[in-house]
Amino acid sequence: MREILGRRRRLRFRRSERPAPPGTALNCATAWQWPVLPGVGLATANGSVGPGPGCACPDPECAVPGAHPFDPGLLAASTDPRMVRWWWETRPAAPVLLATGGRAPCALSLPALAGARALIALDRMGVRLGPVVATPTRWSLLVAPYSLERLGELLYAQDRVPSSLRFHGEGGYLVLPTSTTGAGKVRWEREPVVAPGGGPGAGLASGPGAGAAGRPWLPDVETVLDALVVASSGAPGGGSRLAY
């Protein structure tokens, strides 16, 4: 804790009287057992962290302003409600980052236009989707946890995987609503659907995405990968620029 506080002073994080946005962070951590942590956030003109034009990290040319871990680092992601409350009481404007992989959801992301096309195609195919996170530049589909070995097998079967399609697995992260980053507001394009044990929706799925009762349902990566590869291949400019 001492190390976190020390760095926080150096970055000039400011304690604010605005209400913390623990709705997403606390719900992910406690109800869903998804590990979260605060993102670095955006720097205002006076150097404090909050909605603003540039990233609060030391890199003046940061490619993903506000939308990445810095202090604490990704390994600090936690489901401890006390830790989560303290983070957002101290830094209420910080984006909410989900540490993907392990027992937490993984995700596949693609440029926003390609993402919208992919969702239309998947809906037409009758594919049941899980939560979809949208920013002005990229859309991310949350899927059940997958291993690198499993992902490698699926990608090997593809003729071509465009660089605009990215994978958020073990050791990765994803910005969750209702965060604000340099790319703009983060929102749910498809909100998480939680089916309580024995309630509506229970028993509709099997496999990794079926999850424990009370957690959002997640599809298997294999069920959405083909459509995302096709959609990403047609993304304007290849969508290869690193942006969230």
Percentage of the residues of the chain whose pLDDT score is greater than 70: 75
One domain, residues 85 and 117: no
Label residue 199 by pLDDT band (50, 70, 90). very low
Task: Evaluate if residue 133 carries a pLDDT over 90.
Answer: yes
Which is more confidently placed, 130 or 16?
A: 130
Q: What is the pLDDT of residues 140-184, one digit of tens each?
A: 999 999 999 999 999 999 888 888 889 999 999 999 998 999 989
Label residue 23 by pLDDT band (50, 70, 90). confident
Which is more confidently placed, 90 or 46?
A: 90
One domain, residues 221 and 119: yes
One domain, residues 137 and 166: yes
**Of the candidates 100, 116, 141, which is a domain's last residue?**
100
Residue 243 lies in a domain: no
Label residue 3 by pLDDT band (50, 70, 90). very low
Residue 48 lies in a domain: yes
pLDDT of 162: 84
Which is more confidently placed, 91 or 2?
A: 91
Residue 132 lies in a domain: yes
Label residue 46 by pLDDT band (50, 70, 90). low
One domain, residues 34 and 112: no
Q: To the nearest whole number, what is the mean pLDDT of the chain?
A: 81
- Domain span holding position 40: 2-100
pLDDT of 230: 84
One domain, residues 111 and 31: no
One domain, residues 114 and 8: no
Label residue 43 by pLDDT band (50, 70, 90). confident
Label residue 236 by pLDDT band (50, 70, 90). low
HEC string of the chain? CHHHHHHHHHCCCCCCCCCCCHHHHHHHHHHCCCCEEECCCEECCCCCECCCCEECCCCCCCCCCCCCCCCCCHHHCECCHHHHHHHHHHCCCCCEEEEECCCCCEEEEEEHHHHHHHHHHHHHCCCCCCCEEECCCEEEEEECCCCHHHHHHHHHCCCCCCCCCEEECCCEEEEECCCEECCEECEEEECCCECCCCCCCCCCCCCHHHCCCCCECCCCHHHHHHHHHHHHHCCHHHHCCCCC
Residue 244 lies in a domain: no
pLDDT of 194: 86
pLDDT of 47: 53
Residue 241 lies in a domain: no
